[in-house]
Every structure is written in structure tokens, then in C-alpha cells.
A and B are shown apart, each in its own frame.
Chain A
């Protein structure tokens, strides 16, 4: 409802502004170009930022100070705290990092984002920035037309920087021409009222533009053209800091618990920091003057003094909040819990992960492993084998002779509770991620989809096998009982062997070891086939039982083949390039030949 009124109102106000003033047009165009520049930069950084960040992240967030530094450095380099926040949420959702580390990165990002004010105030206003924008744009467009994804990434970043510069230029020009016609400072409000009103204006402006960086640039260019007072600019900067959290909070509404926790931490940090800055505005101004004097910033250089203020109050916020970070994490973990009902939900997927293909792949892999665990438990119980037995060293062959013990389960019910939603969400996520993925990563998403589809195929086959298995694994006909128990042993053995494979760290060796399992699977099939033929020809089972046995033998084949295939597809997704493994792997006829050898 609010959106339906807000957007047309903004359009009407802007249209009136464009009609009334060409300077307003320049400023608005500047803001639009600036925001578009940020969008282009984020596009570029996402192309190659994810995987690189993931590597750096693993090594640099084990301590709080490292998380803080990571937040500061990445935000300074990317000049986008929102991208760092999105990445942090996705890393947190994929459980690459813990909540304390995530909060540390967000705090650091708040400090890192203050470098933007320094760049604009120290560089953007001092040189003719538009002169740099044009060549950068040209280089960017040339690189964008290249086929390499990395070149495209650099191209987007350069185009982004070009538009950022162009945006700053238009904002500068707009305020400069305003200065000739109107004096906006006559709307300045002194004292506490001014502080509160301009803080509110800063919040609203940032919510509308969805970028505190754009608001800060607007404030600095207006301040440079003397269109706002220094005191009101300080209040606007505080407002911009608080306003930026609204974007994060709105974005987290559809996120999982991890995203909500981080957005709440962001909100708490910025609101507390904003309140402290408002209460301590005079001591902070005094401190800014002292620091400016000591580093040689002129008394009347208000833009740089604003940058000092912006950094100082964010630094104060970080220093105040660091001692409380663990308590904050505990509180947020209590407050925002994953929904735990009867139905298992995705643990690692988030819409933010889709923003960066490398992170989406990591989340997809983890979630697929989650589905595998559920699927293997369901399959094991479906053939009346406990996971504890499969995980033990006990010889499964000892199960062939005795009557089987029933594990009472409702496969449909467990499927709907532990697989169906998870599978649906995973396939949707992987499809979306594949569309957005770079050509190098796209096959990995295809492999993950195949892995999940194979897992579900195995479950469906278990469902078909289950009814007869319950009946015949306890049959008085020892020949029939033996064959049905063999189905159970074959399934259990493959799960056990795959389980052992998961403990191998090297994905290449895992993939090659699958050939050994394939030989075993085929050998098992051949033995079953021989046994069935013998039972039929010797008349030990009648025609009806023979039909059931043949059909159920096929279901067992589908189960074990699908178990192997899903592991193979998952492994291929883990390897960025599986050409070497493909070359070394055995061909079906080679596997057949080894399986058929008699020793």
C-alpha cells in the first residue's frame, strides 16, 4: 500500500523539481548516475569477488579483529557496504562463518564505508573528476565486450567507477549553479531541532536512494557549495548511517534466521551509534576540530571535517559495541531461531547467496549434502537397516540368512517431511543460480541438480521395493528370503562404501574411487541375476514370486545406481574442472570386464 503511494509521489515531486529547476535536474541526474555506477561496480565485483572472498574469508575471520579488518578492507576496496553485507549474510547462511565473525565484518564494513566520504571530499571535489570519468567509461565498455568473464568483471567495475565520477560531477555542478540562484542555507535549522530534523532527512534520503554512500556524496557536494550548514551536514551524516540499516532490514525479511540475525546486528549497531553521536554531538565536534588541527585540515575545510566526523563516530560505535559482541550474538541466536517443525527446511540456501555464483555453489553443495543425509537415512530404513549398523564394522553378509527385522516406517510421510520441500527449494535455487552463473560455474549447478534428482530417484525405487521386502525378507522360503536380504545387503554396502568416501578429502580420488564401487555394484547385480536364474530353473520359486523377485531386483539396481550417480554428480560439482578425472575414470565396458573376471 505504502509502495503504491510512495513511488507515484516521488515521481510527481521529481517531475515538479525538474520543471522548476535545471540545477535540481543536474543533482538528481548526478544521484541517478552515482547509484547506477554502484550497481555496475557490484555487478563486476560479483563476477570474480565471490570465490576470492571465500578463500580470504577462511583465512581471515577466525579472530574478531580479523573479521573487523576484513569488513574494513573489503568495504574500502569495493566501496559498497551493502555488497559486503549481502556476501556476509550468504557466508553466514552457508555456515562458512559464525555469527560473531559475521557481526565483526558488518561492524568493519560500517567503518570501511566511511572511506567513501574521504575519497569524495579529498579527491572528488578537488579535481575535475569528469575528466577521469570519460576515459574510464571507454576502457570499461571495451572490456565489457570481451568474451572472458574476468574481463567483463573488470569492465563492469570500470564503468561503475566512470558513472560514480560522472555522478559526483553532476552533483557538484548542480549545487554550484544553485549557489548562484538560491541560498538553501536559509532553510538551515540551528540547535537541537535542526539536529533531529536533519537526522530524519538523512534517514529518509538514504531509504529512498537505498545507499548511504550516495547520501554522503550528496551531503558533501552540497556542503562544498555552501548549500547546507556544517552542523546540519553532521546530522544528515548520522541519519544516513541509520537509514542504511532500513535497506538491510527490508532485505532480511525474506531471509533465513542467519540473515535476520545479521540485519538485526546491523540495525542495533547503527541505531546505537546514531544515538551516541546525537547525544555526544558537541564533544564529537570538539574532537573533530582537534583531530583536524593536528592533521593539518584547515578550519574552514568543512567537507574533510565531515569525513573526520563520519569516521570518528563510526569508530566510537565499533569501540562501544565490541565488548558486547558475544552477548549480542547470544541474544540474536535466541531471538531469531530457524523454524523447526516436523518439516525439514533448507539450512544453507538464501536469496543473498544467489547474488554471487561462487557462494551460491557453496550453499548448493552444503544443502545437497544435507539432502543426501536425509535420503540415505530414508533409504537405509526403507530396506530395514539401521544407520548405526551401516556405520559399524559389522559384516553385512551376516544378514543374508536370518529373517529380517522390520523397521516400521511410513516412507511417504518421511519423504514429505525430510525430502520433498528441501528438494523443491534446492531445485528452484539451483535453477536460478545456474541462470546467473558464469560459464565456468554453470556445469557445477547442473551436476548438483542431477545429484538431487538421483537421490529422489533412489527413494522412489525404495518405496516400490519396500512392500515386498517387508514380506519376503521374513519369508519361510529360505531361498526367497536370502535374495531379498541380499537386496538389503547390497544397498547397505553401497551406502557404507559411499560413507567411507565422504571422509576422503580429495574430490579427484573420491571420484576415481567410485569406479571401484561401480565394479562391486555390477558384480552384485551379476550374482543376483545368476541366483534368480538358478531359483527359477530349479523350481524353488513359482512364477509369481519369480516376477516379484525380478522386478524388485530391478528396483535394487535403480537404488544402488542412483546412490552412486548422485555421489558422482556431487563430486563433479566440487571440482571446477573434471577433465583429468574423466580421462582417468573407467568406461562402462572396462567396469563390466573387471566385474566379470573370475578369481
Chain B
């Protein structure tokens, strides 16, 4: 999906009525929060493992989650204006 399509998807969410948009934001926040927890678990495993192959795999998985969370936070900002919920954003 290119940037144009992504913006179109975001616009389709913005076009929804207020109630539905609030529901989307709630769902988005939940998913981003769960991704953050998953990232923490993977980071813990990364600390505990010495195996190079496993470390490389875990680093890539963490990268994926970081990127997904960043997109989630951007979408949240778009849907809610400029306000960013810090508890969701948190540190990378």
C-alpha cells in the first residue's frame, strides 16, 4: 500500500461519524498498547539470549513492532487532531 492509499484509508476513518471514529480510536489504542507489551517481552528475551541467530531474529521482530506502533501513533494523531496519548506512544 503506497502513501496515497494509506492516506485514503485514513481519510475513510476520518469520514466516519463521531461515534464510529471514537470506536476506531479505542481499538487502535488497544492494539498499539498490546504491541508495546509484545515489544517489551521481545526486548526481555533479547537481553536473556546470547545466541547470535536468535538475537538477530529478535531484533528484526522488534523493528517490525516499533514501525507498526509508530504508524499506530500517527494514525491516532490524525484521528484525534494533534493530541498524542503519551501512555500509548511511550519511548521506543
Is the pair B68, A580 in contact by a Cβ cutoff of 8 Å? no
Complex-state Cα separation, A582 to B34, whole angstroms: 17
Is the pair A580, B31 in contact by a Cβ cutoff of 8 Å? yes
Size of the B side of the interface (Cβ < 8 Å), in residues, is 29
Q: Does A506 contact B (CB under 8 A)?
A: yes
**Which residues of B are found within 8 Å of A597, using beta-carbon distances?**
59-60, 63
Is the pair A586, B64 in contact by a Cβ cutoff of 8 Å? yes
How near does chain A come to B36, taking the closest CB pair, in angstroms? 12
Complex-state Cα separation, A103 to B87, whole angstroms: 51
How near does chain B come to A483, taking the closest CB pair, in angstroms? 18
Is the pair A520, B34 in contact by a Cβ cutoff of 8 Å? no
Choose one: A506, A579, A584, A595; the contact of B71 (CB below 8 Å).
A584
Choose one: A516, A583, A585, A590; the contact of B61 (CB below 8 Å).
A516
Is the pair A594, B60 in contact by a Cβ cutoff of 8 Å? yes
Is the pair A587, B1 in contact by a Cβ cutoff of 8 Å? yes
Is the pair A590, B67 in contact by a Cβ cutoff of 8 Å? yes
Q: Does B80 contact A (CB under 8 A)?
A: no
Is the pair A520, B57 in contact by a Cβ cutoff of 8 Å? yes
**Which residues of B are found within 8 Å of A516, using beta-carbon distances?**
60-61, 64-65
Q: Does B50 contact A (CB under 8 A)?
A: no
Is the pair B64, A509 in contact by a Cβ cutoff of 8 Å? no
Is the pair B64, A584 in contact by a Cβ cutoff of 8 Å? no
**Which residues of A are found within 8 Å of B71, using beta-carbon distances?**
583-584
Is the pair B35, A512 in contact by a Cβ cutoff of 8 Å? yes
Report the number of A-B residue pairs with Cβ-Cβ less than 8 Å. 70
Q: Does B44 contact A (CB under 8 A)?
A: no
What 0/1 pattern do residues 27 to 65 of B give for CB contact below 8 A with A? 110010011001000000000000001011101110111
Interface of A is mostly: helix
How near does chain B come to A9, taking the closest CB pair, in angstroms? 56
Complex-state Cα separation, A558 to B64, whole angstroms: 23
Choose one: B38, B63, B65, B75; the contact of A580 (CB below 8 Å).
B75
Q: Does B84 contact A (CB under 8 A)?
A: no
Complex-state Cα separation, A512 to B35, whole angstroms: 9
Complex-state Cα separation, A485 to B15, whole angstroms: 51
**Given the known A-B contacts A512-B31, A580-B13, are A586 and B57 also in contact in the complex, defined by CB atoms under 8 Å?**
no
Other 10 A-B pairs with CB < 8 A, given A516-B61, A519-B63: A508-B31, A515-B68, A519-B60, A580-B13, A580-B24, A580-B28, A583-B13, A585-B1, A587-B1, A599-B56
Offer 28 A-B interface pairs, CB within 8 angstroms, sorted by A: A508-B31, A509-B31, A509-B34, A512-B68, A515-B64, A516-B64, A519-B63, A519-B64, A579-B9, A579-B12, A579-B24, A580-B24, A580-B28, A580-B31, A583-B9, A583-B10, A583-B13, A584-B31, A584-B68, A584-B71, A584-B75, A585-B1, A585-B68, A586-B67, A594-B60, A594-B67, A595-B60, A599-B60
